[in-house]
Amino acid sequence: MSLDTPYRAVFCDLVTDQTLDILPLRDVSFEDYIGRAGSLSGTVPIPDRTMAERAHKIKPGRTTVYLERGGFLWWGGIVWTTNLQGSDRGVVTLSVQAATFDSYAGRRRIREDLKYNQTEQFDIARGLWEKLGAGLGASRIEPGDDVPAQPVPRTTAYQLGDETVYQEALDQLGAYEDGVEYQILVYRDPSDARRIRRLRLGSPKIRTGATDVVFDRPGTILSYSLPDDATRGGTTSVARGASTNNNAAATSRPTLSAQAEAEGLPDLWPQLDLSTDFNDISDPATLDALARAVLKEAQGSVVIPELSIRLSDIVPSTLLGRTARIRITDEWHPTGLDARYRIVGVKVRPAERGRPDTAELALEEA
């Protein structure tokens, strides 16, 4: 596939998955992540009444948009916001803001009693997506067939009236050291070209490909950022859970985990405290495990590298979970940096007005 191939913005009815129209979309940028929603923004030009009537079909909360290139779906999600604007020069445009199908989990609440007793965590994740995905109609999320390398049973329950957001329940599953990550893949079925939205699961991490993808500077890497942030890290961690106080006259206090302590830091550190709330959990052992997991991810300081690269012909979503080998030689790295990271986010800026296609990659330690 050539990068000269233009993008097509395909707008569809969310509930029926029927194509409404293919409209021009300018000033596009889009992103995708593992474990959280990515976004898309763009502008539909409205030069005449005919285009206005076509754009009227875009209804926030009821429309999906797919970005297609060379026959491949590069991005798909739900339109949540539009903004019709008329300038002082008489130019009319409709700006569109959309988010990946993951975002639907943040708009739904668990409104029934659900209990999972020593249930494998992949099955819990699939069960939650099956419950909430039923509201998507024909745009439902297919469960996928990922198998855990090591089964991890969990016991958890959600009660009618707690109004637990599905997103919070899914995030909780991913908060453990051996938790489950998810990603929603969007692609066309090679047999009949149907649009597919498939749940992909991994534990403790989603990993893609058997070989590293290599990025060099000088070379493919246009720019990089290596922030080292001690305000987001810590050396101790406590998880706060639900209150178990049944006495209405007494002060309600949360269940607390034991304090997790950092181990194996290469340098001396002062005490820096982390605290995380898990309002639906009252089991101390579970809270202990969550406190340790939080500290493992943020021990000491937090480094979240980012790269800006020239985009090759690979579909951006397939980069997620890949291991990237980063090789940089410059003034800061005179002998050369050679490190491996996992790609957890991709933000794409399509070529426009002489600017090449670029992708910003969010990385974490491999």
Task: Tell me the per-residue pLDDT of 204-228, one tens digit each, with 9 for 90 and over.
Answer: 999 998 899 999 999 989 999 999 9
Task: Note whether 221 and 180 are same-domain residues.
Answer: no
- Render pLDDT for 244-256 as a digit per residue (tens, 0 to 9): 766 655 677 889 9
Residue 323 sits in a domain whose CATH number is 2.40.450
pLDDT at 104 over 90: yes
- What percent of the chain clears pLDDT 90, i.e. is strictly above it? 73
Is 118 or 302 the better-scoring residue by pLDDT? Answer: 118
Confidence (pLDDT) at 249: 58
The Cβ of residue 134 has, within 10 Å, a number of other Cβ atoms equal to 11
- Render pLDDT for 281-322 as a digit per residue (tens, 0 to 9): 888 999 999 999 999 989 988 888 899 998 876 788 889 999
Task: Note whether 262 and 351 are same-domain residues.
Answer: no
Do the Cβ atoms of 11 and 76 come closer than 8 Å? Answer: no
Task: Note whether 166 and 237 are same-domain residues.
Answer: no
Domain that holds residue 109: 105-202
pTM to 2 decimal places: 0.88
Task: Note whether 87 and 185 are same-domain residues.
Answer: no
Region 272-276: mean pLDDT is 95
Would you say residue 33 lies in a domain?
A: yes
Q: Which of 103, 129, 149 is the last residue of a domain?
A: 103
Would you say residue 76 lies in a domain?
A: yes
pLDDT at 185 over 80: yes
Confidence (pLDDT) at 353: 67
Q: How far is CA 80 from CA 83, 171, 213, 344, in A?
A: 11, 22, 34, 24
State the chain's mean pLDDT as an integer.
91
Region 132-147: mean pLDDT is 93
Would you say residue 171 lies in a domain?
A: yes
Is 275 or 310 the better-scoring residue by pLDDT? Answer: 275
Task: Note whether 176 and 274 are same-domain residues.
Answer: no
Task: Note whether 310 and 346 are same-domain residues.
Answer: yes
Region 102-119: mean pLDDT is 95
Would you say residue 85 lies in a domain?
A: yes
Confidence (pLDDT) at 1: 39
Would you say residue 2 lies in a domain?
A: no
Would you say residue 1 lies in a domain?
A: no
Task: Note whether 41 and 15 are same-domain residues.
Answer: yes
Would you say residue 351 lies in a domain?
A: yes
Task: Note whether 141 and 271 are same-domain residues.
Answer: no
Do the Cβ atoms of 309 and 213 come closer than 8 Å? Answer: no
Region 150-159: mean pLDDT is 92
Task: Note whether 172 and 268 are same-domain residues.
Answer: no
- Render pLDDT for 320-365 as a digit per residue (tens, 0 to 9): 999 999 999 999 999 999 999 999 999 998 776 666 788 999 999 8
Confidence (pLDDT) at 235: 95
Q: How confident is the model at residue 2 (pLDDT cuts 50, 70, 90)?
A: very low
Residue 58 sits in a domain whose CATH number is 2.40.10
Task: Note whether 81 and 42 are same-domain residues.
Answer: yes
Q: Three-state SS across the chain?
A: CCCCCCEEEEEEECCCCCEEEEECCEEEEEEEECCCCCEEEEEEECCCHHHHHHHCCCCCCCEEEEEEECCEEEEEEEEEEEEEEECCCCCEEEEEEEEEHHHHHHHCEECCCEEEEEEEHHHHHHHHHHHHHHHHHHHCCECCCCCCCCCCEEEEEECCCCCEEHHHHHHHHHCCCCCCEEEEEEEECCCCCCEEEEEEEECCCCCEEEEEEEEEECCCEEEEECCEEHHHCECEEEEEEEECCCCCCCCCCEEECCCEECCCCCCCCCCCEEEEECCCCCCHHHHHHHHHHHHHHCECCEECCEEEEECCCCCHHHHCCEEEEEEECCCCCCCCEEEEEEEEEEEEECCECCECCEEEEEEEEC
Task: Note whether 118 and 131 are same-domain residues.
Answer: yes
Residue 196 sits in a domain whose CATH number is 3.55.50
Q: Three-state SS across 286-329?
A: HHHHHHHHHHHHCECCEECCEEEEECCCCCHHHHCCEEEEEEEC
- Render pLDDT for 170-180 as a digit per residue (tens, 0 to 9): 999 999 989 99
Would you say residue 310 lies in a domain?
A: yes
- Render pLDDT for 51-98 as a digit per residue (tens, 0 to 9): 999 999 999 999 999 999 888 899 999 999 999 999 999 899 999 999
Q: Domain tally for the chain?
A: 4
pLDDT at 123 over 90: yes
Task: Note whether 119 and 197 are same-domain residues.
Answer: yes
